[in-house]
Chains A and B, each alone.
Chain A
Amino acid sequence: MKYNFKNGLLWLAIYTLLALVPMAIALAGDNPPHRTFWIELGVAMGFIGLGTMALQMIFSGRIASVAPVWGMDNVLQFHREIGIVAFLFTLAHPVILLIADPEFIKYFDPTVNLPRAAALSFVTVAIFAILITSLWREALKLNYEWWRLIHGVLGFGIVFVGITHSIQVSHYLDSLWQKIAIGLTMGICAYMVIHTRVVRPWMNSKKLYKVKDVTLERGDSYTMTIAPDGFKRASFKAGQFFWMSVGDEVLKMQQHPFSVSSSDEDPNICFTAKVLGDFTATWKDIKVGTPVQLEGPFGSFTLKEDHPLFMVMGGIGVTPAMSIIRSLVDKKDKRQVILVYASENWESITYKDELDELDKLPNIEVIHSVAEPPAGYSGESGFLDKEFFEKHIPSNKNHFIYYICGPEVVMDITETSLRELGVHWTHIYSERFQIV
């Protein structure tokens, strides 16, 4: 599916309507007498805060039917941005009510109702904690696995208390059917956290892949080949990625996203990773036969119709491009492919030998750009910039589809340069993994 404004507006409209479900349930019953404007505004903030917080569970739920439309990275980026909106509405609820009528402080008074005071105090602290740990995770030196666990527990807690609080207050949700409706609709959202983090991993642990091979590649990278152990390999499209964990333990905290590097026609699945962190550093020691769990596939970084391709890949970000090109070759698809591969130096070019062979095919052109070129090198060098793209993008630029994957700086420069050179935004696809 291609990006366009119509689909974007449709999804935003659907989102807005879903966020208003708690308020709609409240208004559908017998409305109580109207209080002051500010009290009712505070109440409205609470209903919208609950609706937006509950919807956050759907976004983080890695729903395969939503993610491919916009790309998992864009879905998560929206989750992050709308999370700030959800925080503001949720915080505005007690703040406006307390300013409108200080009597509402009794909701936080443990001598009046201890469980209620504890639950509401928890939510007040939790919304700050979830925001701060998400926006400044790296500055706080919080590792991804612990952050994800904390994020899920706090998110679930906030929505659970929100549901209980709205039912307990009962001002607008007096009828039994309203209590059931709010409990069910918001409860389904909250369940997504449990489904994503407990039920689905448990189901994935029943379908274990086995490592067939781990090979060293150029550029301090390793390719891991895995095969399904007694079941049909997960179907994926070239360019997509899986969340992967090594080992057969259920509920393993360490799970990482990796783009497939093999063809979608290949009965096995290959992942190639550069040794960058603790997890990838262990790849060289992984033994043949080691169990691997996969979740996915995800991502919209896939072939669109039959347009020719202009791919800009930086470093190990080349893996989805390799999957796409290998698949095209396997399918004998002769569409034009231009691959720009930005590398730090000549030695770090992963798949160089295979790319040299692919470059000999009449429909495939590989353009290397090396930041630190070796002596005597005559190809493109230095960092990618607008002049580079001016030189290399084809004259029929909007007939091509552009794919960008790599370090943030490469993606930023490429996206901006292509736009400035007149490439229409609906023709550009990029995949960013650095969300938190």
Chain B
Amino acid sequence: LERVGVQNASEATTDILDPAVVTALVRAALANVGSVFASGLLILLTVVFMLLEAPGMLAKLRAAFRLEAASEARVKRLFSSLNQYMRIKILTSLGTAVCIWIWLWFLGIDFAVLWAVLAFFLNFIPFVGAFLMAIPAVLMALVQTDLATTLLVAAGYLVVNTAIGSVLEPRVMGRGLGISTLAVFLSLLFWSWVLGTVGAFLSVPLTMALIIAFEASPQTRPIAVLLGPEVSPTESSGDE
């Protein structure tokens, strides 16, 4: 009975995912790993130089642009909110990866560590990442075990992503995020078009930075308000 009930789903899955396509994807991923770590070294060097200059950065900005107190506070707010966002995101991604790893290991799926690493990185991509991280592990479960286990794997991903992404994260972030949901989604599309994969990973912090920059000038403040969180009625009437 259960077999009959689930038959359609698996039929669709195997039709969509041609074995040849999957093989090609894995090959491409393998070829990419080398170039990723080559550019990783470049990024690390850049980070080191940036960190060397970081302590004097504010003084430099002050001298270069004759910063007023208000804009200086804005720069500080930008860095602290980016910092807070990245820290929370790293912790929640780590939590997601650990939960996924334990669950896959418990179910005996092959390469559980790999899927956990994948989950850690894809958790940085809003909305789409949660689906993307589940696909390879569910496929793996499908070819490796029976349908019941596959459904359990998919349910595990669903539960972990809902618990961490939709319940825990908003609660911890609070109003720190300050972007409307629609803007998060649109910025994901926009930044992944502009900057490729890196853009998808950085879409939320980039948009946060843009909003704070837009707030700086009266001409662009409307854009910041449109991209920002919902405005409470008292706030909107009190605005100049």
Is this pair of chains taken from one and the same complex? no
Q: Residues of A at under 8 Å CB distance from B?
A: none
